[in-house]
Structure 1
Amino acid sequence: MKSLFTAVALVVMLPVVALAADTAEVGEPAPAFTLKDEAGKEHSLAQYKGKVVVLEWTNPECPFVKRHYTAGTMQKTLSGFDAKKVVWLAVDSSASHTPDVAAAWKKEKGFSYPVLQDPSGTVGKSYGAKTTPHMYVIDEKGVLRYAGAIDDDPRGNKKEGTTNYVKTAVDALLSGKPVPASTTESYGCSVKYKS
C-alpha cells in the first residue's frame, strides 16, 4: 500500500516539477519564444540577442495600463534608451484579443513598438506573467535580469520620487553594473488567460 501511495504521489507531483522548470527565473536564460505582432510580423527573442530586451505584458482594457499610457510612462521610459541597444516588446496574452484590437490601440496611443499576440497564453505562462503591466528585462546575452512592476507607484498618486524599476534595470545593464532590484511585486489587472 505504501508503494502505491508513493507512486501516486510521484505522478501527481511530476507535472508541477515540469512546470516549474519552464518558468522564467531571474539570473537564468529567459524562455525562448516566437510570436507574431499585430501586423503579422514574427519576432523571436533570439533575433534580439546582443540587445537589452524589455518585455511588457499588457492589456489595453486594463485601467492600470490605461493610466500608464495616458501618463506616457512606457513611451517616456523607452525614449530615454538608445534604440540601437534596447528593444521594447509589448505582449498581449489576453485570450479574447485579436491583432485588430492591438493595432487600433497602438494607433490611438501613438507608439511604435510591436504588440506581440499570445492568445494561447503559452509565452505569458512561461514567464509567469501575472498582471498587466508585468515587466521583464533581459540582458544582451539572453539572461533574465529583472521581473516585476514598472515602478513603485501602484496607485499613481505619488507626486514625486517615483522609482522606475525598468529604467533603473536597463541603465544598470547598459553601464555594466548589476541590477539593484532584480525582482519587485508587479501590480495591475490579472492577465486574462484562456481558461
Structure 2
Amino acid sequence: MDDGPSNRDQGGRTGATVVVWTCNHCPYALGWHDRLERGGRDYGDRGVRFLAANSNDDERYPDDSLEAMRERVREEDWPFPYLHDESQQAAREWAAQTTPHVYVLDSDLQVRYEGAPDADHMDPALEAAWLRDALDEVLSGREVSRPETQPVGCSIKWKQ
C-alpha cells in the first residue's frame, strides 16, 4: 500500500491503533471526518496511532485519486497518515466494506472493535462515541463492551 500523504509522524509503540477506511467523495465519510480527525488529535497523546486508508477505484472516482488525497491532506492538515490502497489488496484482506469502516486494534494488533464511528454521521454531537468507548476500554485493559457494530457508509468502489 502506498504511504500516501501524511502530515504527522506517529512512529513508535502504541497503546492502540485505529484503521479507518475512508474516501474523499462519500457523504458518510465526509460527515464523520471531523469527528475522526478530533479523535486522532485527542488520542494521539495517549499513544493511539490513527491511519486512514482509501481503496476506491480512482479511475471511476477521480476524487479519490492519490493526487486528490494529497491535496485534501495538505488543505485540511490531517493529524494522521492517509494511505492509498491502489491494488485494493488491503481492503480485501481486512474485509472493509464501507467508507468509513473503523477498526480498533490493541497493542498486540488484535482487532477489538469493528464498525461505524458512532450511530449517526449527521449528528456531530455523538463525537464518534462507539470508537471512543472502544479506545477507552482498550487503553484501560478492559474488554470492549461493544466489539462490533454495522459499518455504515458508501460501499468501497471495487475495480472492475
TM-score (norm 1): 0.70
Give the secondary-structure state (helix, strand or coil) at the position aligned to 2:67. Answer: helix
Change (3 A) 1:163 1:108: closer
What is the letter of the counterpart of residue 183 of structure 1? Answer: E
% of aligned pairs identical?
A: 27
- Confirm or deny that 1:193 pairs with 2:158: yes
Structure of greater Rg: 1
The alignment covers a number of residue pairs equal to 152
- In the alignment, the residues of structure 2 paired with residue 52 and residue 110 of structure 1 have an alpha-carbon distance, to the nearest angstrom, of 22
Letter in 2 for 1:194: K
Matches within 5 A, 1:93-172: 93-96=55-58, 97-154=64-121, 156-157=122-123, 164-172=129-137
- Select 2:32's aligned residue among 68, 79, 90: 68
Structure 1 runs (4+) deviating above 6 angstroms are none
1:80 to 39, 42, 47: 42
Instruction: Flag the 1:136–1:48 CA change in 2: closer, same or farther, 3 A.
Output: farther
Query: How much is the aligned-residue C-alpha RMSD, in angstroms?
Result: 2.3
CA distance in 2, matches of 1:115, 1:55: 10
Deviation at 1:84, TM superposition (A): 5.5
**What 5-or-longer segments of structure 1 have no aligned partner?**
1-34, 41-46
SS of the equivalent of 1:91 reads strand
Mean CA deviation greater in 89-98 or 131-140: 89-98
Q: Which runs of 5+ in 2 are unaligned?
A: 59-63
